[in-house]
Structure formats: structure tokens, C-alpha cells
Amino acid sequence: MLPRLRALLPIAVCVMLALIHGCSAEDGDDAKCAAQSGKDCHACLQFAQCYYCTSSKKCAYNPVNSFLPKASDCSLADVRWGTCWVNFLALIISLVVIVLVIALSIGCWCHCWCKRRRTRSVERDEQSVERDEQRYARERQEREQRVERDEQRYARERQEREQRQAERRAERQTRTDAIRDKYGLSSPARDPPYTAL
């Protein structure tokens, strides 16, 4: 950015000097323009402050503070300023059209740039949302798998506990039966069920 500004600095200085020189009208400018009256357009337009009226063939001074020449002196369609082949009215209209085209171009460029930026922002947001949804889906799937593994482990451990408990119960029952047989006690399983008298 700084090298561009450095490149524009001499141009800006030249424009400022030209404006200062153009704004400092001397008393002799009016006389210079009046001396060119009756001559052709090119002789009159040698001086930047002069304009040429084609209807009266008059060269007149146009002060810097009044951009347009007086209508009583010459109509805008007959005024030549800067170039002899374009009248002042066409020059003003063409400058206005050029400025409008440039302004519209800048406006269109800004609109397209902002729209593209907004579209990219929306796309980035959508991609971010999509990534978040994928991450949440992965996490949910991992949680479900972890819960399923834990449930399987708990079921396996419960089954193993029940099996060990059944084995201990059977072992206790065999010891109890062995003790009853040793001392001649009848086992409740061998006793006939109770019957009412």
C-alpha cells in the first residue's frame, strides 16, 4: 500500500501546483484573451483561462471561480474550451456521463464484491454447521457404542455372578445333604410333602 502512495505523491503535487497556478489569475489574463479575439479557435485556446465563442468569433477570459461562462456573453453550445472540436455543452455532458458510468461501475463492483463476500460467509457458516453436525453424530455414535459395550459387559458380569452363585448354592446343598446323611437326618427334598389329616 505504501509504494502505491509514494507513486501517487508526485502526481498529487503536480495537480496541486497546477490548481494553484490556475487559481492565481493575473490581471493580464483578461488582456491576453482579449488580444486573441478575431483570430481562430486554436490561437485563443493556447491559454487555459480563455474560451472561444464560435458565434461571435470572440476570445474571452473565463475566471476560475465561475466555471460556466455568462449566458449573455455566449451560449454553451457555441463555447469552445480546451479543444476546438468539442463545444462546452457536449464537454459538460460527456464529463457527467463519464462520471456517472464510473460511479455506476464502482457501485456495481461494490455490490458484487459484497454479495460474493456474503455468499462465501454463508458457505463458510454452512460448512461449519455441517462439520459440527458430523462431529456431534460421531460423538453420539461413540457414546452409543460405549453404552452398548458397557451394557454387554454388565450383562456378562451379571451372568458370571449368577453362575458362580448357582455353583456355590449347589455346593452348599451337596455339603448340607452330606451332613444330613452322615447324621441320619432326612432331607426336606426327600421328605414327603405335607398332607392335611
pLDDT band at 136 (very low <50, low <70, confident <90, very high): very high
pLDDT of residue 153: 94
pLDDT of residue 2: 53
d(CA 40, CA 36): 8
Backbone conformation region of residue 21, classed left if phi is above 0, alpha if psi is from -120 to 50, else beta: alpha
Cell numbers given for 80? 469552445
- DSSP state at residue 85: S
In this prediction, what percent of the chain has a pLDDT beyond 90? 33
Indicate whether 25 pLDDT > 70.
no
Cell numbers given for 62? 473565463
CA dihedral for 124, 125, 128, 134, sign (positive or negative): negative
d(CA 162, CA 166): 6
Alpha helices in the chain (DSSP H): 2-23, 28-35, 41-44, 88-183
pLDDT band at 156 (very low <50, low <70, confident <90, very high): very high
pLDDT of residue 167: 95
Averaged confidence pLDDT in the chain: 81
Q: How much is the average pLDDT of 152-167? A: 94
Determine the residue type at 148.
Answer: E
pLDDT band at 41 (very low <50, low <70, confident <90, very high): confident
d(CA 93, CA 100): 10
Cell numbers given for 58? 470572440
The kind and range of the H/E element at 64 are: none
Q: Is the model more confident about 22 or about 63? A: 63
Indicate whether 60 pLDDT > 90.
no
Q: How much is the average pLDDT of 82-94? A: 84
Q: Is the model more confident about 196 or about 59? A: 59
- The β-bridge partners of 53 are 58, 79
The kind and range of the H/E element at 62 are: none
